[in-house]
Amino acid sequence: MTVQPPSAAPDDAPAEVVAVTGPTSMFDRRVRSGRRLKAEHIRDYGIVVFFAAIFIYFSFASPVFLTSGNLLNIVYLNATIAIPAFAVTLTIIAGNFSLSLGAIFTLAEVLGAWAAVQWGVWWFFPVSIFSGAVMGFVDGLIVTKLRVNAFLATLATGLAYTGLALAASGGFNIIPTKGANIFTFIGQHSVSGIQYPDFIVLFVAIVLQLVLAYTVFGRHLYGVGGNRDAARLSGLKVDRIVILTFIIAGAACGIAGMIDASTTSQGSATNVLGTNLALLAIAGVALGGTSIFGGIGSVWRTVVGVFMLGMITNGFDLLGVAEYWQDVVRGALIVGAVAVGSMIERR
Amino acid sequence: MSASEVATIRLVSIGKRYAGTSALDDVSLEIKAGCVHALVGANGAGKSTLGKVIGGVVRPDDGEMYVDGRPVKYTTPRDARDDGIATIAQELALAPAMSVLENVFLGIEPRRAGFVAKREMRKQYAELISRSGFDLDRDATVGSLRTADQQKVEILRAVNSDARIIIMDEPTSSLTSVETAALHKMTRALRDQGKTIVYVSHFLDEVLDLCDTVTVMRNGHHVRTALADEETETTLVAGMFGSAVEAEQFEKPPPSTAAPMLEVEGLRRGDVLHDISLTVREGEIVGLAGLVGSGRTELARAIAGADPIDAGTIRIGGQQRRIRNPADAIRAGIAFLTEERKHDGLFMDLSLAANTTMADVPAVSARGILRLGAERSRSRRLLDSVNVDPPIPGMRASSLSGGNQQKVLFARWLFGHPKVLILDEPTRGVDVGARAAIHRLISDLAKDGAAVLMISSEIEEVLGLAHRVLVMRRGAITREFPADPPLSEVMEAVFGLAGGQA
């Protein structure tokens, strides 16, 4: 088979709006064709209905919940979880896993702040994002070329990155004073009431969803995650594709680290979020309905999953529910969603 | 002949169906105590399934089984083992991280005061080894052993257990001739101790040499059971394929005199492929016949870049190509339909459209962006052309039947207009209608100029479609036949009888 030039084929029908892309596309033909509701649809779209139900409940239960200020605040507060979660969705769809997200986030934040102090404030942005990408690249290399299980590989690199972050910062918070207004610009400013991180969340979500659903790379991700052997026999460069997903996840953690540093005006190696980020992000991915075994999922699902968790925190805070009960509810929710999914799968 | 007159195993009207096709149909059989009883038949005749029924690995749908006159219903191999029936399976069931010694004694370790008596165990092992004639390091980790050696561990384990009945399913398929001889010696010794051995094999010479009685199976039916002394290889082959076997004839394109499209020279890979050379012309269908384990699939995988090769050259259309991975092969114009469509063929959770275009997604995209409309219309046309039912690009592959799934795989490879098609068991697990459609498809592809190399366990299928037939045996091509050779001669070559050179 030869790779044909991407010229328009004569048979080319005008691009239809209906997109049958991944198996779980929102526009899946079977759903559109209006056949009766199947168990499959509950698994595929049940989470959206559930999200709406909780949303409506909070809207009635709390007078503050359904205000644009509050909803934007939910996005703002969850930006540093959401962005890595969106990106790691790609890694997971390709059949891998990452536990080093929080460590990459922390080290990228420290390196970014360090560069801002040492080399000038403008270095802050490229250094935090680029260093995140490099750490993702290292993870990807270990997983593909050294054939270390992704779970263990990223557990190990996560330890190492966290150690490096402490070493690089010497245990102190790095606070850039020169150009502090630029350093804190992204995290502490807004335009017409919308914080900049909200825009970044939206941007990253849209870009990654489009990549997944409408690019050759995205299609290859589903192939690699769905059946690695078949993907290889179909001529896909499996290792390269997997490494790319780790780089994207790393860069996203770099962006999240950058936002966090900018918000707190400093680079800190001891940020609590760093220790929890990987698990929170993966909880959001799984809650949304992306299979942690790969091959099935979408970024929009992670959007639903992450913000469902964020919304519950916010709503319960507004209703005065204690934090520990919130954790119990969140835990139950994740188990419930995943159990329903696998129960339907088994039938 | 030490067979007594007591039936230790009696099967009555055993039936087993898989997805509508019957693997065993009304099989009644007696196996006498203290003899070596062979089950022979072509691939898919049901001999392995029958062995598995006796060993409790497969639960029959109908019929009864009696052991020593007592009705039994095994639901797991464990039940059978508790009844004194051990199975040496083709698929090995060992603990890979443990040593040979530990595996052989797993569950039956000699004990002293609750602890494993290591010294005693080693002593027993040494006796076992000297008796078996196998050369195996007792401290080696089983996972690090070659398949043949793992097979030996399985055999030792079964022998070492106090099983009265041992089922051996193709025990020699990965053994050398010296090891085979050793196994046979041990098998006879076990029989002389009064044990019963059920020996499933397609090596007819071995069967006649070793066994006391032979049961011939064909298409899930019990053809006959006779004393081995009364059979010859020729009578067995006739029984396995029926006396009036006629090769189903497919419409064939005229034999090609065109230029060679695929030329393979001196291909070697470890001890599975020995110096393979072959040529397939443009528009020609070459059938590759051979037993499972003869190296057929390994040859296909080597040409398709799926497995690395040690030596050899591959030319496509006269041009030498370096093929180090499947991507190289695809670029060279080779399409490879795998034997195991679920394992390494289809993307079950993806749409049919994605399945048909996966090997060349850039062909339905522009600058890395998918053109979904184009993909859908092209996929739809491909699915139509191979008669997938229903031809809905948005459907999930997992929701199709086996035959339709196979057609989807064809569609994927037609998408790239390959010059060389390598088909490994293209009609396995496919119903009759779909089979005919796939045969027509293969024939049409050759007419359009593709060079086709087709592997099939069903020799009738190979004979019906191919312009030439190559026979593989133990990793080498041993015979070549022109179009429409007599079935019996091909069978003899496949089984390595007098006519063949193996």
Mean pLDDT of successive 10-residue segments in chain A (347 residues)?
39 34 40 51 79 94 92 94 97 95 96 95 96 98 95 96 93 89 90 92 97 95 94 94 97 97 92 89 92 92 95 92 90 86 68
Q: Which of A1, A217, A230 is nearest residue B360 as measured by Cβ atoms?
A: A1
For residue A41, list chain B residues with Cβ-Cβ distance below 8 A: none
Residue A323 CA: distances (Å) to CA of A317, A330, B267:
8, 11, 67
- Does A13 contact B365 at a Cβ distance shorter than 8 Å? no
Q: Which residues of B touch A1 (CB under 8 A)?
A: 330-331, 333, 335, 359-360, 413, 415-418
The closest CB to that of B373, out of A1, A15, A226, belongs to A15
Chain segment B153-170, per-residue pLDDT in tens:
888 888 887 788 999 888
Q: Does residue B415 sit at the A interface (CB-CB below 8 Å)? A: yes
Interface contact B312, partner A, CB < 8 A: no
Taking residues B304-329, report their average pLDDT.
93
For position A257, what pLDDT does the model report? 96
B337 touches chain A (CB under 8 A): no
Is the Cβ of A279 closer than 8 Å to some Cβ of chain B? no
Determine what percent of chain B is predicted with pLDDT higher than 90: 31
Task: Say yes or no to pLDDT of B303 above 90.
Answer: yes
Q: How many CB pairs under 8 A join A and B?
A: 154
Lowest mean pLDDT among A46-60, B100-114, B349-363: B100-114
A17 to chain B, any CB pair closer than 8 A? The answer is no
Do residues A53 and A44 touch, judged by C-beta distance below 8 A?
Answer: no
Interface of A with B in 26-85 (CB under 8 A): 28-30
pLDDT digits (tens, 9 = 90+) for B56-84: 888 898 899 999 888 998 888 888 888 88
Q: For residue B352, which residues of chain A lie inside 8 Å, CB to CB?
A: none
pLDDT of amino acid B20: 57
Secondary structure (3-state) at B391: coil
A contacts of B377 (beta carbons < 8 Å): 11-13
Tell if the CB–CB gap between A214 and B417 is shorter than 8 Å: no
Contacts of B358 in chain A (CB under 8 A): 219, 223, 230-231, 234, 236
B373–A13 CB contact, under 8 Å: yes
pLDDT the model gives residue B256: 57
- Residue A220 carries which side chain, given as an amino acid letter? H
Q: Does residue B390 have a cis bond before it (omega within 30 degrees)?
A: yes
By C-alpha distance, the chain B residue nearest A23 is B350
Q: How far apart are CA B32 and CA B4, in angstroms?
A: 6
Q: Which residue of B has its CA nearest to A17?
A: B373
pLDDT score at B366: 93
**Nearest CB neighbour to B349, from listed A20, A233, A295:** A295
The residue in chain B having the minimum alpha-carbon distance to the alpha carbon of residue A27 is B394
Pick among A31, A214, A234 to test the B interface (most B CBs inside 10 A)? A234
Q: Single out the residue of B325, B395, B401, B406 nearest to residue B354, CA to CA.
A: B395
Contacts B361 to A, Cβ<8 Å: 216, 219-220
Work out the average pLDDT over B347-362: 92
User: Which range among A204-213, A331-340, B402-411, B423-432 has the greatest average pLDDT?
Assistant: A204-213
Most confident of A203-217, A332-346, B254-268, B403-417: A203-217
Q: Do A222 and B350 touch (CB under 8 A)?
A: yes
pLDDT for B346 beyond 70: yes
H or E segment and range at residue B21: strand B21-32
Given CB atoms, is B363 within the 8 Å cutoff of chain A? Answer: yes
Mean pLDDT across B342-353: 90
pLDDT(B466) > 60: yes
Q: How many residues does chain B have?
A: 502
Asked if residues B442 and B426 have their Cβ atoms less than 8 Å apart, the reply is yes
Q: Which residues of A touch B360 (CB under 8 A)?
A: 1, 3-4, 235
Cβ distance B296 to B472 under 8 Å? yes
pLDDT on residue A228 = 93
- Write down the pLDDT at residue B131: 75
Task: Report yes or no: B344 at the A interface, CB cutoff 8 Å.
Answer: yes
Mean pLDDT, residues B426-441 taken together: 77
Out of A45-49, B98-102, B172-176, B410-414, which region has the weakest mean confidence (pLDDT)?
B172-176
| Residue B246 confidence (pLDDT) | 43
Q: Could you tell me which of B365, B364, B414 has the C-alpha nearest to residue B386?
A: B414
Chain A residue numbers touching B338 (CB-CB < 8 A): 230, 233
Best mutation target, A1, A219, A236, to test chain B (most B CBs within 10 A): A1
Do residues B174 and B293 make contact, with C-beta atoms less than 8 angstroms apart?
yes
Helix H or strand E segment including B275: strand B273-281
Residues 207-266 of A with CB under 8 A from B: 214-220, 222-223, 226-227, 229-237
Percentage helix, strand, coil for chain A under 3-state DSSP, each rounded to 5: 70, 0, 25
B384 and chain A: CB distance < 8 Å anywhere? no
B350 neighbourhood in chain A, CB within 8 Å:
22-23, 222-223, 226, 295
Residues of A in contact with B344 (CB under 8 A): 227, 229-230, 232-233
Residue B498: pLDDT band by 50, 70, 90 thresholds? Answer: low
Q: How distant is the Cα of B224 from the closest Cα of chain A, in angstroms?
A: 42
Q: Is B396 on the interface with A (CB under 8 A)?
A: yes
Identify the band that residue B2 occupies on the pLDDT scale cut at 50, 70 and 90: very low
Q: Please check the confidence at residue B240 and state whether its pLDDT lies above 70.
A: yes
DSSP string covering B73-119: --SSHHHHHHTTEEEE-SS----TTSBHHHHHTTT---EETTEE-HH
For A339, the token pair is 């159990």
Which of B331, B338, B344 has the most A C-beta neighbours within 10 Å, making it the best mutation to test the interface with A?
B344
Q: Which one-letter amino acid corresponds to residue B406?
A: Q
What pLDDT was estimated at residue B184?
Answer: 86
Nearest to B264 by CA among B315, B220, B200, B217: B315
What mean pLDDT, rounded, does chain B reach?
85
Between the alpha carbon of residue A249 and those of residues A160, A182, A246, A325, B175, the distances in Å are 17, 25, 5, 31, 49
| Owner of token pair 């900049």 | A196
What is the least distance, in Å, from the CA of B340 to any CA of chain A? 10
Using a CB-CB cut-off of 8 Å, the residues of chain B touching A4 are: 360, 362-363
The HSE-up count of residue A93 (CA atoms within 13 Å, CB side) is 39
pLDDT value, residue B245 = 42
Among chain B residues, CA nearest to A15: B373
Least CB–CB distance from A233: residue in B326, B331, B396: B326
